[in-house]
Amino acid sequence: MFHKEGFQIILGSFVLMAAIALGAEYGISNFYLQKGIQLVALALLILVLQFFRNPKRNTPIDDSLLYAPVDGKVVVIEEVFEKEFFKDKRLQVSIFMSPINVHVTRYCMSGNVVFSKHHPGKYLVAWHPKSSEENERTTIVLENKSFGQVLYRQIAGALARRIVNYAKEGTQVVQGTDAGFIKFGSRIDLYLPLGTPLNVSLNQVVKGGIDVIAKA
């Protein structure tokens, strides 16, 4: 299954790679060069397909659990001052996604969307210290009775050129369902209330909608 955000890119890539493969078949007489070009075209198509894959995840609905919103590696766990929405100290958990990870963003908890904003910006590498403030990003705040208000931020990276965000202020969302997509590599920052018991450690690899980040 592929994410709907990739349908046009997948179709365009298929047409382009097919044209390259056919061009090599009928336009190049050297057998090894011909097959080499065709293999490269096939490999590029496979990369596009795997990037936009959208595996079905059966997320158990549990208001006492906060699930990972994306697949990737936990690269930051620290107390920071969140200055856009809370304007106070929060516990930050950041998950870095490489180009080979699933890039679907899933709602980490059920609740009400109380804030949703897109910020245009730069495309620094996702692990750059200033990427969370200077890169293109979206800021979304969810609220429920178990965790109170939790902020997650989709951050574009050096390759990511488009962030898709489905969260709309005033709507109710369901844990584990599709919240958006980040195209071609990036990261997610979570900002939790101080003292939230975490269920992950630094450098741990997590799967969105499956692995638990924190417990209420």
Residue 59 lies in a domain: no
Per-residue pLDDT tens over the stretch 169-198: 999 999 999 999 887 668 899 999 999 999
Residue 37 included in any domain: yes
Does residue 158 surpass a pLDDT of 90? no
Over range 90-94, report the average pLDDT.
Answer: 97
Mark whether 186 is an active-site residue: yes
Same domain for 211 and 173, yes or no, is: yes
Q: Contact at 8 Å (CB) between 157 and 185?
A: yes
Residues 135, 189 share a domain: yes
Provide the CATH number for the domain around residue 91: 2.70.70
pTM for the full predicted model: 0.83
Least confident segment among 126-140, 183-197, 200-214: 126-140
pLDDT tens, 57-73? 999 999 999 999 999 99
Q: How far apart are CA 32 and CA 28, in angstroms?
A: 10
pLDDT for residue 26 is more than 70: yes
Mean of per-residue pLDDT scores for the chain:
89
User: Do residues 196 and 116 both lie within one domain?
Assistant: yes
Residues 89 and 171 in one domain: yes
Q: Flag whether 194 is in a domain.
A: yes
75 and 151 part of one domain: yes
Please report the pLDDT score of residue 125 as a whole number: 59
Evaluate whether residue 93 is within a structural domain.
yes
Residues 104 and 8 in one domain: no
In a domain, 45, yes or no: yes
Report the C-alpha gap between 115 and 139 in whole angstroms.
7
What distance in Å separates the CA atoms of residue 41 and residue 179, rounded to the nearest whole number? 32
Tell me, yes or no, whether 110 and 193 share the same domain: yes
Considering its fold, how many domains does the chain have in total? Answer: 2
| The one catalytic residue among 94, 110, 131, 186 | 186
Q: What are phi and psi of 2, to 5 degrees?
A: -115, 150
Say yes or no: 34 and 86 in one domain. Answer: no
**Residue 100's pLDDT is what?**
82
Cβ neighbours of 115 (radius 10 Å): 15
> What residues make up the domain containing 108?
65-215
* Same domain for 118 and 25: no
Residues 108 and 211 in one domain: yes
At 208 the pLDDT is 96
Same domain, 102 and 24: no
Does 159 share its domain with 191? Answer: yes
